Amino acid sequence: SPPVSAVTRCLCRANFVEWQPPKPPNPGAMENGTGPCREERPPTAQETTVTEGAAKIVFPSSNEVFYNPVQEFNRDLTCAVITEFARIQLGTKGIQIKVPGEKDLQKVVVDLSEQEEEKVDWKDGENLAPGDKPQIAVVGEICEEGLRVLEGLAASGLRSIRFALEVPGLRSVVANDASARAVDLMRHNVQLNGVAHLVQPNQADARMLMYQHQKVSERFDVIDLDPYGSPAPFLDAAVQAVSEGGLLCVTCTDMAVLAGNSGETCYSKYGAMALKSRACHEMALRIVLHSLDLRANCYQRFVVPLLSISADFYVRVFVRVFTGQAKVKASASKQALVFQCVGCGALHLQRLGKAGEGVPGTKPAEGGGAAIPAATPRPCSLLPVCPQLGGPLWAEPIHNLDFVGRVLEAVSTNPERFHTSERIRGVLSVITEELPDVPLYYTLDQLSSTIHCNTPSLLQLRSALLHAGFRVSLSHACKSAVKTDAPSTALWDIMRCWEKTCPVKRERLSETSPAFRILSVEPRLQANFTIREDANPSSRQRGLKRFQANPEANWGPRPRARPGAKAASQVLERRRLLQNKRKDPPEDRAQRAARLKTFPCKRFKEGTCQQGDQCCYSHSPLPGASADATPTDCPETPPTRTPLDPGPAAGPGVD
């Protein structure tokens, strides 16, 4: 471990306040910010030990501290992204990083900063005096000029500990959580992994902690936010606490809101209206990017996306934050409204502003102004219906392909570094094949179900679009996605040509249905469905794991951590037992007839039943049968009540 003076200087740079007991038994441990040493005790029966990556953590079996093993892919990808970001940031300072398992150090480092027009290339020994050796940052050691990392909601501290054990070039890692139980557990895990010199547990509200680090000299180089649900309450503080050109990593697990199930809730949290669309997963990514840029613009800052992932039950974005008034003025041209046809699902994006135009009669601002368009387009001219309006959302590219290529190369050359390296390679490979300038996408089942025809294969549809002169690609957000620059008219012409090979019975279609109106028009474009070689993407030919199936049973978001809660397995078991408990078991006609015969017929008792033996209810008194018993599914015997009968539950305070 480093000397005490170096650790003290590191803590001064981090500038955070942590709760400490009044009488620490170990002064050295307290100086490191880890609290009293209570790690000699072995894990009890109420604790579980988990090994992930290079970290080994202990967390309680009860659901007091949140932990989800399904998000191992999320944590592996974050470690890979921060490593490449550290390589870029430290390369400009003449510092190389050494990753365990890599054969050779990187020779060239590219600066992705938009503040500099020229890209910085740094090679070994270029800026060094004769006889000097390049400074090398290794894993597990403090780098005096390294990155300052903040994990705002650390829970068990697994992610922060993995940063310290797997990412080189770090100066300090602040693992923060508002729960005292979580912070106590983090101290135990930090000592267990021997990273007390790098990781400092801290108990505070994440928003207040980030607001206290708004000064330029106190900002964090990397901020990681992975809350339970929506990160909306933390975004305003995060865009202020990240350094110039720093990295902001945000996870959103409230996919029901972002996917359009609750548009008003999405608007209140992210400032955009989500639509129910087959492209909802990419729309969720673009809504989150819009929300980040909107909050950053309030402080003359803007975001530059590096990587945006939609995986499993969440979305994950990695953006860099810069400051620049001229660039902020052009942010309106990066946002767009979405018009979606209610009938056929055609999509059209309308930018909020147009870059390069300003107020007439004035000098255009540097970086371009924003002119608001007056025209309101319609995505489809076939159907006389009003389109749905959604957004605003981010309309620019959601990935930096150069940065994605660097991460992909690093993971491919060192696959033993992560347990999910195979999936990371597959997802990033699909991302490199996506069309960067085409927002949103269509799906095969959406196109075929609209006109009620058979579904063409993916290669057939891609080949038809390529033969017609359009570009086409897949999307990592959906397995059956078709991302293309073809207009909706050309896309429906291709589907009309496909329908002619498997005709739809027109007499079964309503004249007002979208299928009837679309098929009633003859196609102007004659589609060619001959399979082309370039129709099959490279990631598909290599058989990469691009779209992973559910990794385990009871897969998905785990229950929220609560003090004194039961074990997560007990909660999931109770959910399974109570599932569909209100649904009646299925029964056949004989069982239903026998069940109805157990109820007496009230009309027979009153002398008004004319069904005779054909009546489904009993005309003879049955032992144990109540005369007032009435089946809930009886359509012939509505409940009756005399005016003098107040009912069995009448009385004060009873509805």
Res. 28: pLDDT tops 50: no
* Nearest residue to 109 via CA among 129, 98, 124: 124
How confident is the model over 169-199, as pLDDT tens digits? 999 999 998 888 889 888 999 999 999 999 9
Tokens 């799906």 correspond to: 443
Give phi and psi for 492, each to the nearest 5.
Answer: -75, -25
Give dist(CA 260, CA 288) in Å, integer. Answer: 13
The predicted pLDDT at position 387 comes to 78
Torsion angle defined by CA atoms of residues 291, 296, 302 and 306, in that order, rounded to the nearest 10 degrees: -50
Contact 353, 371 (CB under 8 A): yes
Question: What percentage of the chain reaches a pLDDT higher than 90?
Answer: 35
How confident is the model over 416-467, as pLDDT tens digits? 899 889 999 999 999 999 999 999 999 998 898 888 888 889 899 999 999 9
CA 269 to chain centre: 15
User: How many C-alpha atoms does 410 have within 13 Å on its Cβ side?
Assistant: 26
Element (H, E) at 268: helix 263-270
Give the mean model confidence (pLDDT) for residues 99-110: 61
User: For the packed helices 488-501 and 458-467, what is the interaxial angle rounded to 10 degrees?
Assistant: 120
Give the mean model confidence (pLDDT) for residues 89-108: 76
CA 505 to chain centre: 41
Torsion angle defined by CA atoms of residues 527, 532, 535 and 537, in that order, rounded to the nearest 10 degrees: 180
* Nearest residue to 566 via CA among 64, 161, 136, 137: 64
Contact 292, 303 (CB under 8 A): yes
User: For the packed helices 232-241 and 280-297, what is the interaxial angle rounded to 10 degrees?
Assistant: 50
CB atoms within 10 A of CB 231: 25
Band (244; pLDDT cuts 50, 70, 90): very high
Given the DSSP bridges, would you call strands 170-177 and 199-203 parallel, antiparallel or unpaired?
parallel
How confident is the model over 346-396, as pLDDT tens digits? 888 888 887 665 444 434 444 444 444 544 555 565 555 667 888 899 999
Token duo for residue 231 = 């990160």
3-state secondary structure 556-582: CCCCCCCCCCCEHHHHHHHHHHHCCCC
The predicted pLDDT at position 515 comes to 87
- SS3 assignment, position 118: coil
- Verify cis geometry, omega within 30 degrees of 0, for the bond prior to 168: no
Give phi and psi for 73, each to the nearest 5.
Answer: -60, -40
How confident is the model over 259-286, as pLDDT tens digits? 888 888 999 999 999 998 889 899 999 9
* pTM assigned to the model: 0.74
The predicted pLDDT at position 612 comes to 83
Band (44; pLDDT cuts 50, 70, 90): very low
How confident is the model over 113-124, as pLDDT tens digits? 444 433 334 333
The predicted pLDDT at position 108 comes to 42
User: Is 130 exposed, middle or buried, given 0-12, 13-18 or 19+ CB atoms closer than 10 A?
Assistant: exposed
The predicted pLDDT at position 252 comes to 93
* Nearest residue to 177 via CA among 195, 157, 197: 157
Which residues, including other chains, have CB under 8 Å from residue 33's CB and lie 6 or more apart? 11, 18, 196, 200, 201, 202
Given the DSSP bridges, would you call strands 388-394 and 199-203 parallel, antiparallel or unpaired?
unpaired
Give dist(CA 357, CA 370) in Å, integer. Answer: 6
Which residues make beta-bridge pairs with 47?
Answer: 60
The predicted pLDDT at position 384 comes to 56
CB atoms within 10 A of CB 636: 12
* Nearest residue to 54 via CA among 101, 3, 7: 101
Band (640; pLDDT cuts 50, 70, 90): very low
The predicted pLDDT at position 299 comes to 94
Res. 642: pLDDT tops 60: no
The predicted pLDDT at position 41 comes to 40
Distances (CA, A) of 91 to 6, 83, 134: 22, 12, 11
Res. 558: pLDDT tops 80: no
* Nearest residue to 95 via CA among 143, 139, 130, 141: 143
Give dist(CA 343, CA 209) in Å, integer. Answer: 49
* Nearest residue to 500 via CA among 451, 541, 549: 451
Out of 305-314, 494-503, 540-549, pick the least confident: 540-549
Element (H, E) at 182: helix 180-193
Mean pLDDT of the chain: 77
Res. 7: pLDDT tops 80: no
The predicted pLDDT at position 574 comes to 65
Give dist(CA 214, CA 244) in Å, integer. Answer: 11
